[in-house]
């Protein structure tokens, strides 16, 4: 079909009619060129060059189509991977938020527990200090009493020693021995 259109265009061309002399002679260069061109086209058709060119173009088109399909497939995979990573990123962000909130809550609870522990510790130390104060006070009172007793005993001994005679001392010793005997039996 293409060949026929080409031949019609050649015969209808005005330069072919512009040559001098008869058209169908080998002296006419236009006719020789036309014959050479027709032979060239015939050789190309005989060697199936248009089919080979068409096949090569079809193969090239198929290759391009395959590359485009592969590119679409890769783009779709990339979009799905991107969506997956975006979901994972959102999940990780949510998890991080939950961890932060949990840590804040734990810190708040730990602070409250530390306050309670501090109150208990202070109360315990105050009680221990009060006990130490009471013990020190009791010890001081006992020391004062002991010292007062020693002073009183010393003063009584001095007073008794000045006022008592040997006979009265012997009577007191005998009375004390008798009292000890009655208490022991």
Between 20-24, 79-83, 104-108, 135-139, the lowest mean confidence (pLDDT) is in 20-24
Asked if residue 65 has pLDDT above 70, the reply is: yes
pLDDT band per the 50, 70, 90 thresholds, residue 10: low
Please give the tally of structural domains in the chain: 1
CA 152, CA 160: separation in Å to the nearest integer?
A: 12
| C-alpha count within 13 angstroms, C-beta hemisphere, residue 95 | 6
| CA 157 to centroid of chain Cα atoms | 89
Say how many Å lie between the first and final Cα of the chain, rounded. 160
Find the domain containing 164 and state its range: 143-184
Q: Considering the domain boundaries, does residue 169 fall inside one?
A: yes
pLDDT band per the 50, 70, 90 thresholds, residue 5: low
pTM over 0.75: no
Q: Considering the domain boundaries, does residue 94 fall inside one?
A: no
pLDDT above 90: percentage of residues in the chain: 51
Task: Determine contact, residues 48/41, Cβ cutoff 8 Å.
Answer: no
Helix (H) or strand (E) run with residue 25 in it: none
Asked if residue 19 has pLDDT above 60, the reply is: no
Q: Considering the domain boundaries, does residue 158 fall inside one?
A: yes
């Amino acid at each position: 079909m293409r060949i026929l259109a080409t031949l019609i265009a050649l015969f209808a061309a005005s330069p072919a009619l512009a040559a001098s002399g008869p058209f169908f002679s080998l002296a006419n260069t236009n006719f020789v060129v036309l014959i050479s061109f027709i032979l060239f086209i015939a050789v190309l058709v005989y060697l199936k060059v248009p089919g080979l060119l068409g096949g090569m173009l079809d193969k090239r088109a198929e290759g391009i189509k395959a590359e485009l399909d592969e590119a679409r497939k890769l783009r779709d995979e990339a979009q799905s991977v991107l969506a997956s990573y975006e979901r994972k990123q959102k999940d990780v962000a949510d998890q991080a938020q939950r961890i932060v909130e949990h840590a804040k809550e734990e810190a708040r609870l730990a602070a409250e527990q530390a306050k309670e522990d501090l109150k208990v510790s202070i109360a315990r130390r105050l009680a221990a200090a009060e006990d130490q104060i009471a013990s020190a006070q009791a010890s001081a009172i006992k020391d004062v009493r002991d010292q007062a007793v020693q002073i009183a005993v010393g003063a009584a001994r001095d007073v008794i020693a000045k006022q008592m005679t040997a006979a009265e001392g012997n009577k007191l010793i005998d009375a004390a021995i008798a009292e000890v005997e009655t208490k022991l039996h």
